[in-house]
Chain A
């Protein structure tokens, strides 16, 4: 065995992603993240209630601009995310393999599916309104149009098991339609989510549109479910008893609640349900008037 000196690698400090910046938890806390065999991978921030509230402030601030952007623009930005992910493919394959105990080949398949999912949702931004909205043939001289609009700030509890494909499968539909998100990463496997923050930061996604927190799901989710400036919550990453507790808290300001759905296969092409769960329908009545000699007709 030769006495060759191996270069010492540079570790990454995993940080939160809030308002387009990469803060540590304000609490100064971290927790150990291990691979499925128990080997130490990194220390991830252990977010506090205050971190959750800060993330809501950032998400609310970003909502006006993101929901007001054209659907075409949102599609361009989301497609850019897929481009940036493609460039970091190897990194994510490694992180997903570690996080989920997958072979390199299987992890690569997960990452490829994840990138494709971004592309899928990028294409939806300027189509969903035509699918779920439209003119209503009311019995009267009115033009009546229903259009979907984003609900607002959505708290997203990412799936616990599928740390990357599952994560993107719940985050992308929320922001594709113009919502902004506070995402609680998989508790055991938060690293792919924290790295996703780095991708978003370099993808033209405005700061605050997606905010990523790591830590104890129950600890972070409680203040989000009770927060009066959060409009909706996706409970994908909550177990049965936590989900019930959070749904009760969410009733205080009548958040839209997406209960945990059993997902057998994250690879399957999703339907539009995860988008429509966080859309409101606005219906506007316009008098059509008449072109008679009588003039104005309303």
Chain B
């Protein structure tokens, strides 16, 4: 492993965001039927700050009996919630959107503490998108008959939703906003490493006066998720997470009436042609793979660069990586925060070691890692072939695999040579080439001359083993309607 030493032109003074704005209680319950309650079996688990390993709080751990209670509460609430005029449901969602905006700084700090991602991202990306998502779907609630799903689109019933730890509150918004707008009620299980923002959201539901039982939050582990997905009282299952778990869920719901949407893994190709504006491309590549420490399902984790500009691009990219600041996620200057958990760090570490063992060339900028917490330096691999594990498997970390191509056809063939099909990027100045390549990529989201852009109006979801169904936009309604 080569570590390049670069002298800093100037140093930054620490600029930490104050954590006084958020008041984390020493313990939290499950949120069922409008009340915070203990788990039936009394189990709890601790949630840590991944940047310091400090225990933030102790959280009730949902089990099968709690799933039973929550589904029952949601089932009961469904009768009145689905019967409300859409305009009334809309106003609840608008209230929630507004309260999220009012409390966004608090929630950004909370999310950064519990997840480890930089405050710059939670403040500028996660939270604005959360509020925007609730605003967007609030507006749909009383317009569903115009959405193109028939004159009387009906809700499905109780939605069982299982979300990941990489964008805890944003994934909650993607799941809950369309579900409530269409008249469904919700039982949502946040990830075990990031339960706090969902529990704060439960408090927002109370502030908004949301009828009890419409939203139920069950912090817990995979067993709680599995019980929720399998529960016969659930009409709709929505899952964001790994492809392996997604397949297991698809098997579980087989032969039932449950409607299923899955948003799973990816191995996105970011394709740079020789006529691309290289400086912009470098920014896009960095954003594509180091945004949220690469813990993004649509990350541009495979860089496909045209051979003729390979050296020039890699030089520029390495120079840029040398300027990334890794460290305290609450510091407003931080670019790279902590990896979410020890388990994820171990997985990233193992896959990077595999990359080296299989003969790819590893490089990281000079980078001091903090003593405590879970950290991984931004890493890129060159001399990567399509057969390498790091070119095929989702690493879900700040690790970029660089491959080359000569012709557009080869770029397309390599980009599509994966069982995944979530995202891709194209960098070129030639408009017709953007359209031709975008047309041939088997991916649900394609960014041309940009990367990792999200918007509540823009449908998001994968082809092939990246899952099915779309979240966002008019398309996102279909997952929660009986059509």
Contacts and interface: CB of A to CB of B under 8 A. Distances in A.
Contacts of A252: 247
A282 interface: yes
Interface string B246-257: 111011001100
Interface in A137-152: 137-140, 142, 144, 146, 151
A273 B483 CA distance: 8
- Nearest 10 pairs between A and B by C-beta? A244-B255, A247-B254, A251-B250, A138-B455, A136-B457, A284-B446, A248-B254, A251-B251, A136-B458, A285-B447
A284 B460 CA distance: 10
Contacts of A271: 150
B444 A287 contact: no
A264 interface: no
A32 interface: no
A280 B444 CA distance: 7
A240 B453 CA distance: 42
Interface string A196-235: 0000000000000000000000000000000000010000
B450 A142 contact: yes
Interface in A241-298: 243-244, 247-248, 250-254, 256-257, 271, 273, 280-287, 296, 298
B212 interface: no
16 contacts: A138-B458, A144-B458, A146-B473, A244-B255, A248-B255, A251-B254, A254-B464, A280-B444, A281-B461, A283-B459, A283-B460, A284-B448, A285-B450, A287-B449, A287-B450, A298-B450
A140 B450 CA distance: 12
A109 interface: no
Interface centre among A131, A139, A231 (most CB of B within 10 A): A139
Given A240-B255, A254-B246, A254-B250, A283 B468 contact: no
A1 B467 CA distance: 71
A69 interface: no
A286 to B, nearest CB: 5
B434 interface: yes
A247 B243 contact: no
Interface of A: 131-132, 136-140, 142, 144, 146, 151, 231, 240, 243-244, 247-248, 250-254, 256-257, 271, 273, 280-287, 296, 298
B475 interface: yes
A138 B128 CA distance: 13
B151 to A, nearest CB: 12
A138 B254 contact: no
B450 A256 contact: no
Contact of A132 (B148, B443, B468): B148
Contact of A137 (B434, B457, B483): B457
A271 B470 CA distance: 20
B56 interface: no
Contact of B455 (A131, A144, A243, A248): A144
B230 interface: no
Given A140-B453, A144-B455, A284 B438 contact: yes
Interface of B: 132, 148, 150, 243, 246-248, 250-251, 254-255, 262, 264, 277, 280, 419, 434, 438, 441, 443-450, 453, 455, 457-461, 463-465, 467-468, 470, 473, 475, 483
Contact of A146 (B434, B458, B467): B458
Contacts of A286: 434, 448-449
A231 B280 CA distance: 36
B453 to A, nearest CB: 5
B470 A281 contact: yes
Contacts of B449: 286-287, 298
B406 to A, nearest CB: 21
A253 B247 CA distance: 8
B148 A139 contact: no
Given A131-B148, A138-B455, A251-B254, 5 more contacts: A140-B453, A144-B457, A146-B459, A251-B250, A253-B464
B148 A285 contact: no
A259 to B, nearest CB: 8
Contact of B458 (A251, A280, A283): A283
Contacts of A281: 444, 459, 461, 470, 475
Nearest to A251: B250
A243 B255 CA distance: 7
A136 B447 contact: no
Contacts of A140: 453, 455
Contact of B468 (A244, A256, A285, A298): A256
Contacts of B132: 139
B458 A285 contact: yes
Given A283-B458, A285-B458, A254 B148 contact: no
B255 A283 contact: no
B446 A283 contact: yes
B444 A282 contact: yes
A240 B254 CA distance: 11
A142 B444 CA distance: 17
A125 B460 CA distance: 24
A258 to B, nearest CB: 11
A287 B448 contact: yes
B254 A253 contact: no
Given A146-B458, A256-B468, A273-B483, A283 B434 contact: no
Contacts of B459: 136, 146, 281, 283
A69 B336 CA distance: 45
Interface centre among B150, B248, B438, B455 (most CB of A within 10 A): B455
Given A140-B455, A144-B458, A282-B443, A251 B473 contact: no
A273 B153 CA distance: 14
A243 B257 CA distance: 12
B361 to A, nearest CB: 30
B251 A136 contact: no
Contacts of A251: 247-248, 250-251, 254
A195 B18 CA distance: 75
Interface centre among A131, A240, A254 (most CB of B within 10 A): A254
Nearest to A142: B453
A285 B472 CA distance: 14
Contacts of B448: 284-287
Contact of A254 (B443, B445, B465, B483): B465
Contacts of B461: 281
Nearest to B421: A280
A244 B255 CA distance: 4
B376 to A, nearest CB: 28
Contacts of B250: 247, 250-251, 254
A136 B453 CA distance: 13
Contacts of A139: 132, 455, 457
A151 B421 CA distance: 11
